[in-house]
Every structure is written in structure tokens, then in C-alpha cells.
Amino acid sequence: MANQKVPLFSAQEERELRKQLSLLLCCSQASQSQDIINQLLHFYVPDKTKKEPSLTRFRYFSAALIEQLIILLQDEQFLKPSRWTDFFELLNYFPLSLENPIPHHLKETISSSANDNPFYQSDNFIPLQLSYLLAQLEDSDTAYSLLKQLKEDISITTSFFHLIYNLTLARLLILKNKRLDFTELWLKLIYKYYQEDGSETALHLILQWQKMIPWGKNASLKKKVLQTYSSDWKYNKTLLSAFILNELVTLENHLIKPEEKIRYVHILLSLPSSYMSFEQLQYLYFFAGNYYSGVEQNFPKSIRAYHHSTYYLHKSWLALQNLSQFLRENLSPEQMVQIMPYLEKKVISLANQINLQNSTYVDTLHKNYLLISDLYHQVEALSITDHLTGLKNRHYLHNNLYHTFQLAVRHKVPISFAILDIDHFKQVNDIYGHLAGDYVLQTLAELLLSFFRKSDVIIRYGGEEFLLVLFDIKKENMLKLMEEFRAKIENYEFIYQENKFHITISTGCVCNCFACLNDTALNSYIEKADKALYTAKEAGRNTVVCFTE
């Protein structure tokens, strides 16, 4: 029975829920509202024992209630303007004190709402903040003892005090697994603040409600609830839309695609930063840094996002220090001892985030370094490689061979040069077309690579000319080798688009070169090989000629 799947509410039950919730929102008398709330809770706990239901049923029932409320509150007939949603923004700045005063842009709103009697000067404000913050840290015992002392005073004070008190109480009820009382409290709050301040405030409270629910393995219900908000509320760039999108962004990765999440992140980062806490901003920039690096492979954008994330991580540390100081100043030594494990948990969480961020940042730098290094080698290879034949080009000859030449000179290894030229190459282009000419050059390059040693350097010198640099070969062997290759080409049948033809090559060589340590010496040897090539052309082509003084 324990593993039995709890069924979703039927369509009829959802209609009945919506009907009862509609009656609740329209109800003008508090006594009648309690009767409606009792009927709603009957869906939750059908029997009269009021035994706490299972956690799974609690999640499904909460999702059904919240979803139907959102639908109703977004309906035009219930739409009312809100007077003080800025109070929800103020919660991001707790604890407020002389060292951490109320932000300037919120002072006017808060003063006017408090009828020129600032609530933050009340004796109850410090213990109220303490209880709220301790509940956030999950120290339910200390928070509840402080809250209990405030119960009588809260009922006769400002609406904002009443709101903070009940947000704290709701948090404590869920920590103590009093799910029935938790649900009843939220229904009362939605009713009260909808009547006093309209639908937007009620929608804000619903977001606070769903944030406190431990969705666990039923996190898809949370996504379903958040998606109930219309585009008008999600994308109107208000405080409420910031809260909605933040909740969507923090959904588990399997529930929301990175492309969808980064879209929400872009919207959030275009909003005033005061709409979000430092930890929320740190997460947004951290996710953006990962996305830009891993998905877009945009190194500069990734680094900028990580820099922003580091800034807000630092601000989070300062906020934690401010919180710790506030607690030390306003709690007894015994209470401070009790709260220390919860503070340590917060410290560890931030420390882990720092380690994760540093590790991710270094990984990103390393990955992008490897990418840049790979691109550099590709560019370098392209700059020294002939794109048509794949052979080295003249840049390689002048920029990359000198260390090889120096090694050859040091060990007294002779160097030989040969320039090879295709005879009457223009006729190939004229008869068969330039693509046929490209085919001949590519095929000749392949034949050169397969015929000569891997230690020999073969360069496309220009047009139909190829330069060969051969190491440690005697003159007679050099001439014999070049003659064998000449004969091989003369007998090789080129086939291009069913056209069969032969070509011949002329070759000029210069052998036993030793002092090849600078451009002047190198150019002189190449000139000598070129002169020998000219002699071979003059002698009737299809021959090998060695340069002689």
C-alpha cells in the first residue's frame, strides 16, 4: 500500500475545487470564508479525524489548489490593482538594521503604506525579523519561541507585520510536517490579502506558498503550477514576473531544457537587480557562464558571466556576514549556540558554491585554451599548407625548415634540391579544362608523397612547379631517383571523366649542399635548381638535369 500511486484529482473534483475557491474569493464575511475553507480541506482530508495525509497527497492537493487559484486570479473579473507588492521585494534585504538600512527606492512606498509611522522603528520588528530569518535557516525551535511571544502584538499592528508573521508561521508549520494547518493558513492568507490588496498580491503569496512546499520527486507538479501563469504575468517585467521566472529557472535540468532556461535567464538579467537576491543573481550568471561555454562555445561571454557570478557570490558572503552579526547582536548566547549548526550549513553551502564555481571556471578556461590552441594549429597548418594538393607551401619552406637545415649542417648531412615542372601544362587546361588541371596537380602530389621518403620535404612551389628537399643522399643516387620518378610519370595514365592522357615532367637538381643556414644561401640553391630546370626545358623537356658551375 505504501508504494501505491496516488491518483490525480478528477476533472469533476477540479471543477468543484474551482467553484469553492471562487466562492472564497467572492466571500465578504470572514465567518463564511472559514466555512468554505473547511469544505476545501475536506477534499484534502475526507475523514473527520484530521489525520495528516501522506506527503504525496499533500503535493497533489497543493498543486490542484494553487493551479485553480492562479486561473481564477488571472481572470479579469477578479483583477484588482495592487498597492504594496514592493513589500515582497523588501524581504530580499532582511535583516534590516542601521548597518543595512531600507533601500532608498523602497522607503517612499513603505512610509506611505505605514501611514507615516515606520514599522521598522517598532520594538517588534527586530524579533519579527529574527523569527523570519531563523525559519529560513530551518531552526524551527528558536524561531517558534520568538514567534510565540509576538502573537498578541501582531494582531493589532501593520499589515506588513502580519504578513511577515504568517510567512514565518507557514515556514515553521511545513518544517514540523503540519501540512493540514499549513494549507489552511495559506487559504486564509490568500483570502485576507486578496480582499485587502487585490489579485497581484494574492499571486505573490501563491508563489511564496509553492516555494515552501517540498516537491521532491513530484517536482513536475511544481512546473505544471508555474506554467499556469499566463504570458502576461510571466513576461511583463514586474516583480511578480521576476519571481515566477526565477522559480522556473531553478527547476531540475530534466524538467526544463537549457535553451528554455537561458531564455528566462536573459529576461531576468534585463530586470532591475533589486528584484532578486544576491544568491539568485549569482546562480543566474553562473548558469549563463556554463551555457555560453558549453553550448554556444562563446568564450568572452562565458568569462563575463562568470565575473558577474563571482561578484554576486562575494555579495552573498557579505550578506551572510551581516546575517551572522545581526544574530549575534540580538540572540542570547544559548540561542546563538543553537543556531550555529544552521549557520555552518549555510557557510558550507556557499563554500561549496565557491569550489564549484572555481572548478567550472578553470575547466572553462582549460577547454577554451584547448579550443584556441587547436584553432591556432589549424590556422598555422592552413598558412603553411597548399589547399589544393595538401602539400606544404612556400611559407613552410622559409619559416619551418631552418631548424632542420641547422641539424643537417651540424651533422654534415648533405642536402639536395630539385624543382619539378609539368611539361606543357597549359595544354591540359585548354583541352580538358581547369578542373582536369587540378586533378593532375592533386594526383601528382599523391604520387610524389608515395614515391619519396617521409623524411623528404615536398612543397608546391607555385603553379605546376614542385620543390623537393632531400636529406642525406649522394649525387648519383639523387639523379637515379629523379630519373626513376620521371619515367614513372611518363608511363602513368591519367584518367579524368573518361579522358585518358599522359604528361611528362622536367626536373632541375642541385646536390651536396651544406651551408644552408639563411635565406641568402637557401635562395641561391633554389636558383641553381631553377637554372638546371631551365636547361632541361631547353633540352627538349621530359628530362633530369643537375646543376654544374
The region of weakest confidence among 37-46, 111-120, 168-177, 326-335 is 111-120
Average pLDDT of the residues in 278-302: 89
Q: Which of 70, 86, 56 is nearest to 226 (CA)?
A: 70
Alpha-helix runs per DSSP H in 118-216 = 125-136, 140-154, 159-175, 179-197, 199-212
Res. 230 pLDDT band, cuts 50 70 90: confident
Res. 117 pLDDT band, cuts 50 70 90: very low
- Report whether pLDDT(318) > 70: yes
- Report whether pLDDT(518) > 90: no
Q: Which helix (H) or strand (E) holds 120?
A: none
Helix then strand count (H, E) for the chain reads 23, 7
pLDDT, tens only, 153-185: 766 557 778 889 999 999 999 999 999 999 999
Distance CA 130, CA 94 (A): 9
Q: Which CATH class is domain 394-546?
A: alpha beta
Q: Chain-wide mean pLDDT for the chain?
A: 85
Specify the 3-state DSSP secondary structure of 235: coil
Res. 48 pLDDT band, cuts 50 70 90: low
Which of 274-278, 411-415, 517-521 ranks highest by mean pLDDT?
A: 274-278
Res. 364 pLDDT band, cuts 50 70 90: low
Comparing 21 with 376, the larger pLDDT belongs to: 21
Amino acid identity, position 413: V
Residues belonging to the active site: 464
Straight-line distance from the first to the last Cα atom of the chain, in angstroms, rounded to the nearest whole number: 104
DSSP code per residue over 269-305: HTS-GGGS-HHHHHHHHHHHHHHHHHTS--HHHHHHH
* Cis peptide leading into residue 7 (ω within 30°): no
Res. 397 pLDDT band, cuts 50 70 90: confident
Query: Residue 283 has what pLDDT?
Result: 93
- Report whether pLDDT(339) > 70: yes
| Residue reference for cell 471562487 | 22
Sketch the domain layout of the chain as residue ranges: 394-546
Comparing 443 with 156, the larger pLDDT belongs to: 443
| Residue reference for cell 595538401 | 390
- Report whether pLDDT(372) > 90: no
Amino acid identity, position 95: P
Q: Which of 155, 166, 175, 88 is nearest to 132 (CA)?
A: 166
Comparing 150 with 484, the larger pLDDT belongs to: 484
DSSP bridge partners of 495 = 500
Q: Quote the pTM value.
A: 0.67
Contacts for 322 with CB less than 8 Å, ≥ 6 apart = 95, 99, 100
